[in-house]
């Protein structure tokens, strides 16, 4: 199966394309906790990605609008969050990706970020996809836990109907029972018919709502799934990380500790490079 079937790579910034060479790493803390954390994590990840020969895009959510419990931390507020993302972009010199949940958020976010991310639960929301497409930014859509990979074509088509061809899909597993997700690696090849594909390393091991009001995760499974995705052939990886996952304000159980990111990305690059040598092999 030829994994170079789609004809167009996606511009993320002037320096970075996805689907046209080096893998792209979308990584950072789950949510914007404070300015110091974001600057520190972005700077260290940029250095690691440069060392490993990977492109880097900083990720942190402006607002976690889909937390399990109403009492869970959501955000510092949109205005403060955008200020922090703008500082990361200017001081570290990296592109930014963040989530939007409502149509009115797209315009404000697009003033700062380079990639608009559509959360998995909202991947069928037509108005949100259209508004994201109209922004002219790259639009990264997470496949819903309830979606067949083949049906993500229609989400891509919604964005492209605005004249915006810059669409990226992200695999993060499907619901398997009440608190489990399972990743079907065939989804990576299926969705790559439509546009470049990213594998969400950390949310794929999430256990939604499994901790009685918050989500759990199985961090020890991360290397196995990540290696499989790298070998299967993807264009990038989405990885949440934190200096102290146990103290993170969101998704700590399924994060890669920051001090392990250099070795982790070196391993992924090794598997990804090996796969590239066999991209044209078909049966």
- The answer on pLDDT for 171 being more than 60 is yes
Q: Which one is predicted more confidently, 44 or 68?
A: 44
User: Measuring CA to CA, how many Å separate 82 from each of 86, 96, 97, 217, 282?
Assistant: 6, 11, 11, 28, 45
- The answer on pLDDT for 172 being more than 70 is yes
| Mean pLDDT lowest among 49-53, 68-72, 169-173, 236-240 | 68-72
215 pLDDT band, cuts 50/70/90, is low
Phi, psi of 96 (to 5 degrees): -125, 140
**50 burial via Cβ count (<10 Å: 0-12, 13-18, 19+):** exposed
In the prediction, which pLDDT does 216 show? 62
In the prediction, which pLDDT does 97 show? 98
In the prediction, which pLDDT does 270 show? 92
- Quick check: pTM over 0.85? yes
- Is the distance from CB of 46 to CB of 56 less than 8 angstroms? yes
Which 3 state secondary structure label does DSSP give 221? helix
Name the superfamily (CATH) of residues 10-276.
Answer: Aldolase class I (3.20.20.70)
Convert the pLDDT of each residue in 153-163 to its tens digit.
Answer: 999 999 999 99
32 pLDDT band, cuts 50/70/90, is very high
Q: Give the whole-number percent of the chain exceeding pLDDT 90.
A: 73
Convert the pLDDT of each residue in 234-283 to its tens digit.
Answer: 999 999 999 999 998 887 788 999 999 999 999 999 999 887 777 667 78
Query: Which whole number is the average pLDDT over 146-150?
Result: 96
Query: Which whole number is the average pLDDT over 194-206?
Result: 92
Convert the pLDDT of each residue in 217-231 to its tens digit.
Answer: 678 889 999 999 998
Please report, for the chain, the start and end positions of each structural domain, with discontinuous segments joined by +.
10-276
In the prediction, which pLDDT does 123 show? 97
Q: Which one is predicted more confidently, 271 or 67?
A: 271
**13 burial via Cβ count (<10 Å: 0-12, 13-18, 19+):** middle
Query: Which whole number is the average pLDDT over 27-37?
Result: 95
């Amino acid at each position: 199966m030829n994994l170079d079937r789609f004809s167009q790579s996606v511009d993320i910034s002037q320096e970075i394309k996805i689907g046209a060479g080096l893998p792209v790493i979308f990584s950072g803390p789950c949510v914007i906790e404070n300015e110091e954390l974001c600057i520190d994590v972005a700077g260290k990840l940029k250095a690691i990605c440069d060392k490993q020969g990977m492109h880097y895009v900083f990720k942190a959510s402006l607002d976690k609008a889909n937390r399990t419990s109403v009492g869970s931390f959501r955000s510092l507020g949109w205005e403060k969050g955008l200020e922090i993302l703008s500082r990361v972009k200017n001081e570290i010199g990296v592109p930014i990706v963040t989530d939007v949940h409502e149509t009115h958020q797209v315009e404000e976010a697009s003033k700062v970020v380079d990639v608009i991310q559509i959360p998995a639960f909202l991947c069928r929301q037509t108005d949100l996809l259209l508004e994201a497409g109209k922004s002219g930014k790259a639009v990264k859509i997470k496949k819903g836990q309830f979606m067949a990979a083949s049906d993500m074509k229609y989400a891509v088509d919604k964005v492209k109907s605005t004249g915006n061809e810059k669409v990226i899909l992200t695999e993060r597993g499907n619901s398997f029972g009440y608190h489990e997700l399972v990743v079907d690696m065939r989804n990576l090849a299926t969705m790559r018919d439509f546009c470049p594909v990213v594998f969400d390393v950390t949310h794929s091991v999430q256990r939604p709502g499994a901790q009685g009001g918050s989500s759990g995760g199985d961090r020890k499974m991360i290397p196995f799934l990540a290696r499989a995705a790298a070998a299967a052939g993807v264009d990038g990886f989405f990885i949440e990380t934190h200096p102290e996952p146990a103290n993170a304000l969101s998704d700590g159980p399924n994060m890669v500790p920051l001090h392990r990111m250099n070795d982790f990305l070196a391993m992924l690059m090794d598997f990804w490079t090996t796969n590239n040598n066999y991209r044209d092999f078909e049966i």
